[in-house]
Chain A
Amino acid sequence: MSFLIDYIRTVYKSVRSLLIGMRKTGYYFTHHKEIITQNYPENRDTLNLPERFRGEVVMTHNEANEHRCTGCTACELACPNGTIKIVTKFDITPEGKKKKALDTFVYHLELCTMCNLCIEACPTSAIKMDQAFEHSVYDRRLLTKKLNKPDSKLMEGVE
């Protein structure tokens, strides 16, 4: 007889705990405002990412198409993955001296882990992290980017 009482007790406890759980499920079923799912591709225009979010490395240019990169390769040395490759050239200054300057800032997005070490290392704040995060392309060669714009030159006064 006792096993029957035990059995009924177990069934009662199981059903009770299930109903308590189902009450929570029912609560959320009827309270749509507490659902926090975002409709991602549709809300792209209103999507706000925090300003520190690390999406990709970009080089800042001003209106006169001038950047702040001196080609010192501090970022290249700081990068753990070989993401950055800096090609330098020699400019002739008005005094007739040779001066090292940036030719191409090659950035391999496919190798980048967004660790922010290059931004920390840059002495002239030439590069920064951008919030773009939709990096999918059909060809991986498109992920190798040239960060300095064509015909851009070094900003006056940046050493």
Chain B
Amino acid sequence: MLEEIGTTEQGDLVINIGPQHPSTHGVLHLVITLNGETIKKVEPHLGYIHRSIEKMCESLTYRQFIYSTSRMDYLSAHINNHGCALAVEQGLGIEIPPRARAIRVLLSELTRLASHQLWWGAMAMDVGAITPFFHAFREREMINDIMEETCGARLTMNYMVPGGVMFDLHPNFVTRTKDFLRFFRSKFNEYDELVTNNIIFQERMKGVGVLSSADAISYGCTGPVARASGVSSDIRKIAPYEGYDQLQFAEAIQSGGDCFARYLVRMQEMRESLAIIDQLIDTIPDGEFQAKTKAVLKLPKGEYYSRVETARGEFGVYIISEGATTPYRMKFRSPGFSNLSALDHMSRGSKIGDLVAIMGSLDLVIPDIDR
């Protein structure tokens, strides 16, 4: 697999980035063919953090397998768990109490915010600015504290159970979330001053890594990557789940298709997430936080598919059940894998320095790609 640094027959230079390289945000290995400074080909080599989660799930019960999906896209762990819980509930045919639905949506949007904040800091760091990283982590820390108080863990929450959520909301949740909303709104100006309006940042991002809408569709891109190319792909809008259709929010769409468009889409999504939390935080219904389920869950024989919108795009869970307590086959459709496949197309012809900016704008999480 590992290719030596060398030259091809045409005299092009072949170099490796990764697997241990800070700008790949994980153990991604890219074999790059260069003509001078211009990229001719990018070949991602995967598998360095493959843990065979799909196969593991075949030996875990429907309550147990949810925790393992937190380890895939660890930045939107809660939303991954959400997708799994939805698939199991679809098979069981149970109705979720309204309070559990509100809690799920609230925490999903908080997770999305935390994920985008980390991306914002890492993106700025990829193009050479260190300060935004610390600003992003300051706000993200508040979300992590809220999560810690309600779910009991900061990153791999495992708060979802089939039929609802594991515990009720913590009594402090509403006040702390409102404090966070107020604080974070006041910091958006700072984000724009530091990064968005910075001319150096814009020069690094504009017109770099352009992906047309036709290519975005044909590569199967979803999430902010597709929306930056003008493709409407928000699962919360096109196939609403968990009461997203009753909430007022706009789908962030840009038409540029370059890195800056992807940046703007995520910034817009953060504002929309704030709007969603605003609508729900005062009107969390009372009642049960978990529907009554049997101690041993058995899905009827059949196939079940659910999809949710994570911070990176469409996350799909496909379960084939033979009627036993464990799934017969499990398949996850992870957004990072499809988005990565467009990297070669986007970076061909651009300079090697722009590759890091393109990868940063894709918001790759490597365990999500490898599973």
Within the assembled complex, what's the spacing in Å between the Cα atoms of A139 and B51?
Answer: 25
A114 touches B63 (CB 8 A): no
Residues of A within 8 A of B63 (CB): 78, 117
A-B contact pairs, 13 of them (CB 8 A): A13-B199, A17-B198, A17-B200, A18-B200, A20-B193, A24-B131, A24-B193, A50-B148, A52-B152, A53-B152, A53-B153, A78-B63, A117-B63
B64 touches A80 (CB 8 A): yes
B152 touches A36 (CB 8 A): no
B199 touches A17 (CB 8 A): yes
The answer to whether B21 has its CB under 8 Å from any CB of chain A is no
Expressed in whole angstroms, the minimum distance between the Cβ of B61 and any Cβ of chain A is: 8
Expressed in whole angstroms, the minimum distance between the Cβ of B301 and any Cβ of chain A is: 23
CB-nearest residue of chain A to B189: A24
B152 touches A116 (CB 8 A): yes
Within the assembled complex, what's the spacing in Å between the Cα atoms of A53 and B194?
Answer: 35
B149 touches A50 (CB 8 A): yes
Residues facing A in B45-73 (CB within 8 A) are 60, 63-65, 67-68
A113 touches B67 (CB 8 A): yes
Number of interface residues of A (CB under 8 A): 26
Residues of B within 8 A of A79 (CB): 64
A24 touches B190 (CB 8 A): yes
Within the assembled complex, what's the spacing in Å between the Cα atoms of A14 and B166?
Answer: 51
Select A18's contact among B149, B151, B152, B198, beta carbons within 8 Å. B198
Within the assembled complex, what's the spacing in Å between the Cα atoms of A146 and B63?
Answer: 26
Question: What are the interface flags for B192-205 relative to A under an 8 Å C-beta threshold, 1 for contact and 0 otherwise?
Answer: 01110111100000
CB-nearest residue of chain B to A54: B152
Task: Decide: A54 near B200, CB < 8 A? Known: A24-B190, A24-B194.
Answer: no
Within the assembled complex, what's the spacing in Å between the Cα atoms of A78 and B193?
Answer: 50
Residues of A within 8 A of B23 (CB): none
Expressed in whole angstroms, the minimum distance between the Cβ of B340 and any Cβ of chain A is: 27
Question: What are the interface flags for B175-198 relative to A under an 8 Å C-beta threshold, 1 for contact and 0 otherwise?
Answer: 000000000000000100111011
The answer to whether B115 has its CB under 8 Å from any CB of chain A is no
Within the assembled complex, what's the spacing in Å between the Cα atoms of A120 and B162?
Answer: 13
Other than the given A49-B148, A50-B149, A80-B67, 9 more pairs (CB < 8 A) read A24-B194, A25-B131, A50-B152, A52-B150, A52-B151, A53-B153, A80-B65, A113-B67, A113-B158
Question: What are the interface flags for A111-144 relative to B under an 8 Å C-beta threshold, 1 for contact and 0 otherwise?
Answer: 0011111001000000001000000000000000
Residues facing A in B25-59 (CB within 8 A) are none
Expressed in whole angstroms, the minimum distance between the Cβ of B204 and any Cβ of chain A is: 12
Residues facing B in A74-98 (CB within 8 A) are 78-80
Give A contacts to B, CB under 8 Å: 10, 13-14, 17-18, 20-21, 23-25, 36, 49-50, 52-54, 78-80, 113-117, 120, 129
Task: Decide: A53 near B199, CB < 8 A? Known: A20-B193, A24-B190, A117-B63.
Answer: no
A14 touches B200 (CB 8 A): yes
Expressed in whole angstroms, the minimum distance between the Cβ of B350 and any Cβ of chain A is: 21
Expressed in whole angstroms, the minimum distance between the Cβ of A37 and any Cβ of chain B is: 9
Within the assembled complex, what's the spacing in Å between the Cα atoms of A114 and B198?
Answer: 43
Expressed in whole angstroms, the minimum distance between the Cβ of A22 and any Cβ of chain B is: 10
Residues of A within 8 A of B198 (CB): 17-18, 20-21
The answer to whether B292 has its CB under 8 Å from any CB of chain A is no
Residues of B within 8 A of A80 (CB): 60, 64-65, 67-68
Expressed in whole angstroms, the minimum distance between the Cβ of A157 and any Cβ of chain B is: 23
The answer to whether B170 has its CB under 8 Å from any CB of chain A is yes
Within the assembled complex, what's the spacing in Å between the Cα atoms of A129 and B131?
Answer: 37
Residue among A13, A23, A113 with max Cβ neighbours from chain B (10 Å): A113
Residue among A18, A21, A54 with max Cβ neighbours from chain B (10 Å): A21
